[in-house]
């Protein structure tokens, strides 16, 4: 039986009238890399803030290795956090930053330096350890941000959108690091709104919206939610109401409406042979369609099915 | 190394790594001190000469003592210092109203007789309110002269009576032949007195801010405790400039808390075993230490560049320590109530400028309207400037120490409680 690292039960948190977390529950096992996927405002950062102890007025329980996470401050020594912001001192060097942040965990200086150099090599910054960080590129800064979160060898690492604002190459490098952490036995919770990132790096995925988990499982398990259906993305200059009215008339067996918005709609077909008939129906009603894409079942389709909207919305 | 020490070391290391802002705040008060000081003395480096003081002299007595007093302005040193114009009372008043002179010295009627008869007489100094330093110097000079003349009158009372009885007539009515023996006697006395008067005349130059009453009594007692020193205008200006820029330095440093909240550093710190109490203690200490270092450096530079004598260095250091503690605690407290760095930035500068305006950094306290002077008591500027002056004058600024330490402790306490709340939400 796998060891349970994190157990979140019925977490609720509101900002006035806005509900950020609504009965949020989640489990994480040792070595698992959990991708928490959700659009902006889904509650991902609120969850990380609650777990990191910077948000207090919430209800629910969070257990780390079976103990109340907020009951004993020493438990924090076993958890690492990588905030969305570049939370380090840009006027210092990478090594100096690691020594400072590691120092807060009471790690002996000699051991700390060894660990810092080791981490700099992992995040490919070994050759620039003494250079002021303000000279680093966005990707280098993101990698350092992760290294700081790992300085005290945490058993659980919380990453809040660690790939925001960086180029593809840097993104690939960071995703490799995250995958590697899971393989070494570190549990990771990784929030993002990039579907490809979780597909590439996570062993388990949770889809989150409006403060709650809508679905969770491995990529294969989630895709089974939409089944072995072909996904059709229809784009054009139409309103959501007009599209809905027309498509309802041709509703056929095996066709499922995943999402309808102004200018774009997603449909799922169990039988791909029905797609031409549906297209003909749309053209007959003079719906101004500009583009049509047929896709294999993927995480995006799952997300559309679960939330009724695209991640980009 | 404790976590508190680690943060303090990190803060100071970062300041040293990017010192421009701190250097700028160090240089600006020195530059402003130099600039303002040079307005008064474009050429000198250290001890400053004042520009000639335009003095109107009204002699309503015309007696021997009055002539002696008027004649004193013909001495070489006083000739350089004072540009004297003899006027009558009405003309003098008109000129003063027009601001044509720094001060007017009125020698009253019967001044010579009163002195000879050991009666109290009053020299009146009318100051030009538009000027700060020069009328003060004139007033102090008059005070010194009054002290000197009082001493002469008391020590040589018998001789003066002889002179007076020999000159019952108006001086102008006496022939040269009649005057000669009297003048000879007077000359002998004046020569004898010269050695007593000269130090007093030299002391006049050393006077700084005059606090004597408007009318200076001839029977006033000399201040025997004040050590003779050169009047250095920079030492008058620099404490005010220094405390104003110290406020800016410490405020900018304490505002880092807001930046660190915004960019996630605080969140990251709070996730480590570091407690909010440790963090706030470290930040208050760092702000205080930075202030003490910068202030000490600026004061040393002030001594080297402008020849400022700060007085008892231990007392000055303690005053700096207390003032910097006040600044760190005050801005620590304010940052607990500001929601973000923009709000902190928007409020802090006006607060500092109000402190500077009413606390004596921009204007000498004496220039601030009487009805608004009470505000100064709530500013660190006032207590620092007054403390510096008191130390220079040889005193111990107990009140400054007490006010700065006690209010600093109160602010630090509030900062500790309020910032803990702010940082944990």
Predicted confidence (pLDDT) per residue in B6-60, tens digit: 999 999 888 888 788 778 877 888 888 888 877 765 555 444 556 678 888 888 8
> Does B10 sit within 8 Å of A89, measured CB to CB?
yes
Predicted confidence (pLDDT) per residue in B298-309, tens digit: 889 888 888 888
Give yes or no: residues B314 and B342 share one domain.
Answer: yes
> Does A92 sit within 8 Å of B425, measured CB to CB?
no
Does B318 fall in a domain?
yes
Predicted confidence (pLDDT) per residue in A179-212, tens digit: 888 888 899 998 888 888 888 888 999 988 888 8
Predicted confidence (pLDDT) per residue in A52-80, tens digit: 777 778 999 999 988 998 888 788 888 89
ipTM confidence: 0.74
> Does A88 sit within 8 Å of B265, measured CB to CB?
yes
Give yes or no: residues A100 and A21 share one domain.
Answer: yes
Q: What is the pLDDT of residue B199?
A: 42
pLDDT band at B405 (very low <50, low <70, confident <90, very high): very high
Beta partners for residue A67, in sequence order: A64
- Please provide the DSSP assignment of A76-123 as one string: GGGEEEE-SS--S-TTSBHHHHHHHHHHTTT--HHHHHHHHHHHHHHT
Give yes or no: residues A67 and A165 share one domain.
Answer: yes
pLDDT band at B274 (very low <50, low <70, confident <90, very high): confident
List the one residue out of A174, A168, A165, A114 whose CA is nearest residue A144.
A174
Give yes or no: residues A214 and A239 share one domain.
Answer: no
Give yes or no: residues B37 and B57 share one domain.
Answer: no
Does B37 fall in a domain?
yes
Q: Which residue of B has its CA nearest to A102?
A: B272
Q: Does B421 touch chain A (CB under 8 A)?
A: no
Q: Does B13 touch chain A (CB under 8 A)?
A: yes
List the one residue out of B392, B35, B16, B50 whose CA is nearest residue B241.
B35
Give yes or no: residues A169 and A280 share one domain.
Answer: no
Predicted confidence (pLDDT) per residue in A136-154, tens digit: 988 899 899 989 988 988 9
Domain CATH code at residue A261: 3.30.70.250
Residue B288: how many other CB atoms lie within 10 Å: 25
Span A96-101, average pLDDT:
93
What's the mean pLDDT when you consider all of chain B?
78
Q: Does B268 touch chain A (CB under 8 A)?
A: yes
Domain CATH code at residue A48: 3.40.50.300
B28/chain A closest Cα distance in angstroms: 24
Does the predicted TM-score (pTM) go above 0.90? no
Span B247-264, average pLDDT:
88
DSSP state of B376: G
Give yes or no: residues A108 and A170 share one domain.
Answer: yes
Q: What is the pLDDT of residue B320?
A: 94
Residue span of the structural domain in which B346 resides? 3-41+232-423
Give yes or no: residues A68 and A50 share one domain.
Answer: yes
Give yes or no: residues A282 and A177 share one domain.
Answer: no
Give yes or no: residues A30 and A158 share one domain.
Answer: yes
Give yes or no: residues A156 and A273 share one domain.
Answer: no
Does A311 fall in a domain?
no
- Give φ, ψ of B343 to 5 degrees: -65, -40
> Which spans in B207-312 are helix H?
233-254, 256-262, 265-271, 276-306
Does B222 fall in a domain?
no
Does B401 fall in a domain?
yes
Q: Does B277 touch chain A (CB under 8 A)?
A: no
Give yes or no: residues A133 and A153 share one domain.
Answer: yes
Give yes or no: residues B210 and B239 share one domain.
Answer: no
List the one residue out of A74, A91, A115, A63 whose CA is nearest residue B274.
A74
Q: What is the pLDDT of residue A193?
A: 80
Residues found in chain A: 313
A292/chain B closest Cα distance in angstroms: 42
Count of domains observed in chain A: 2
Contacts of B5 in chain A (CB under 8 A): none
Dist CA A226 CA B167 (whole Å): 128
Count of domains observed in chain B: 2
Give yes or no: residues B161 and B264 share one domain.
Answer: no
Q: Does B263 touch chain A (CB under 8 A)?
A: yes
CA distances from residue A276 to A172, A264, A283, A291 in whole angstroms, order as listed: 38, 18, 11, 14
Give yes or no: residues B364 and B387 share one domain.
Answer: yes
pLDDT band at B363 (very low <50, low <70, confident <90, very high): confident
Regarding predicted confidence, which is higher, B158 or B233?
B233
Dist CA B176 CA B182 (whole Å): 10
Give yes or no: residues A214 and A249 share one domain.
Answer: no
Does A313 fall in a domain?
no
Residue span of the structural domain in which A152 resides? 4-223
Residue A15: how many other CB atoms lie within 10 Å: 10
Token look-up 């309503």 returns B60
Chain-centre distance for alpha carbon B343: 35
Does A308 fall in a domain?
no
Q: Does B269 touch chain A (CB under 8 A)?
A: yes
């Amino acid at each position: 039986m796998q060891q349970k690292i994190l157990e979140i039960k019925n977490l609720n948190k509101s900002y006035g009238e806005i509900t950020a977390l609504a009965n949020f529950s989640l489990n994480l096992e040792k070595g698992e890399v959990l991708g928490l996927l959700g659009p902006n405002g889904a509650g991902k950062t609120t969850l990380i803030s609650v777990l990191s102890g910077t948000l207090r007025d919430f209800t629910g329980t969070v257990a780390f290795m079976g103990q109340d996470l907020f009951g004993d401050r020493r438990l924090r020594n076993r958890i690492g956090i990588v905030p969305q912001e570049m939370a380090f001192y840009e006027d210092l060097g990478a090594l100096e930053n690691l020594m400072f942040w590691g120092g807060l965990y009471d790690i002996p200086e000699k051991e700390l330096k060894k660990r810092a150099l080791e981490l700099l090599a992992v995040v490919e910054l070994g050759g620039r350890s003494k250079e002021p960080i303000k000279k680093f590129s966005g990707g280098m800064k993101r990698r350092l941000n992760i290294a700081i979160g790992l300085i005290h060898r945490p058993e659980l690492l919380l990453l809040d959108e660690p790939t925001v604002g960086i180029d593809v190459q840097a993104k690939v490098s960071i995703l490799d690091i995250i995958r590697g952490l899971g393989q070494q036995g570190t549990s990771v919770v990784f929030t993002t709104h990039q579907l490809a990132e979780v597909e590439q790096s996570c062993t388990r995925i949770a889809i989150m919206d409006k403060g709650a988990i809508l679905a969770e499982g491995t990529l294969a398990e989630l895709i089974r939610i939409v089944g072995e259906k072909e996904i059709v993305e229809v784009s054009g200059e139409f309103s959501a109401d007009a599209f809905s009215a027309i498509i309802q008339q041709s509703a056929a067996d095996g066709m499922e409406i995943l999402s309808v918005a102004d200018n774009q709609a997603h449909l799922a077909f169990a039988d791909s042979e029905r797609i031409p008939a549906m297209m003909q129906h749309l053209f007959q009603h003079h719906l101004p369609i500009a583009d049509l894409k047929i896709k294999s079942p993927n995480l995006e389709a799952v997300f559309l099915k679960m939330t009724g909207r695209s991640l980009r919305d | 190394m404790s976590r508190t020490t680690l943060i303090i070391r990190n803060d100071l290391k970062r300041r040293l790594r990017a010192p421009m802002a701190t250097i700028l705040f160090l240089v600006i008060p020195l530059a402003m001190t130099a600039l303002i000081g040079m307005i008064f003395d474009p050429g000198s480096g250290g001890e400053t000469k004042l520009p000639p003081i335009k003095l109107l002299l009204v002699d309503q007595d015309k007696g021997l003592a009055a002539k002696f007093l008027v004649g004193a302005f013909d001495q070489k040193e006083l000739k350089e210092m004072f540009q004297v114009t003899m006027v009558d009372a009405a003309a003098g008043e008109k000129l003063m109203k027009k601001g044509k002179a720094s001060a007017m010295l009125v020698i009253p009627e019967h001044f010579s007789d009163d002195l000879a008869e050991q009666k109290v007489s009053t020299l009146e100094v009318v100051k030009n309110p538009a000027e700060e330093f020069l009328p003060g110097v004139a007033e102090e000079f008059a005070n010194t002269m009054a002290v000197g003349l009082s001493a002469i009158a008391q020590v040589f009372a018998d001789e003066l009576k002889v002179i007076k009885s020999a000159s019952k007539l108006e001086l102008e009515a006496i022939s040269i032949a009649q005057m000669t023996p009297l003048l000879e006697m007077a000359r002998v006395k004046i020569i004898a007195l010269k050695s007593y008067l000269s130090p007093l005349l030299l002391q006049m130059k050393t006077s700084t801010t005059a606090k004597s009453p408007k009318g200076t009594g001839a029977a006033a007692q000399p201040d025997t405790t004040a050590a003779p020193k050169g009047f250095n205008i920079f030492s008058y200006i620099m404490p005010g400039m220094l405390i104003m820029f110290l406020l800016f330095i410490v405020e900018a440093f304490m505002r880092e808390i807001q930046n660190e909240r915004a960019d996630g550093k605080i969140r990251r710190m709070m996730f480590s075993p570091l407690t909010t109490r440790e963090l706030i203690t470290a930040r208050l200490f760092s702000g205080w230490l930075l202030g003490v270092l910068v202030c000490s450096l600026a004061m040393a530079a002030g001594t080297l560049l402008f020849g400022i004598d700060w007085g008892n260095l231990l007392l000055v250091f303690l005053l700096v320590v207390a003032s910097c503690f006040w600044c760190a605690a005050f801005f620590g407290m304010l940052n607990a109530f500001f929601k973000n760095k923009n709000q902190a930035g928007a409020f802090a500068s006006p607060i500092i400028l109000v402190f500077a305006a009413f606390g004596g950094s921009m204007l000498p306290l004496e220039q601030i309207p009487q009805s608004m002077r009470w505000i100064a008591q709530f500013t660190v500027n006032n207590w620092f400037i007054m403390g510096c002056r008191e130390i220079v004058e040889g005193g111990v600024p107990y009140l400054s120490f007490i006010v700065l330490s006690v209010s600093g402790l109160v602010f630090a306490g509030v900062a500790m409680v309020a910032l803990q709340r702010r940082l944990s939400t």
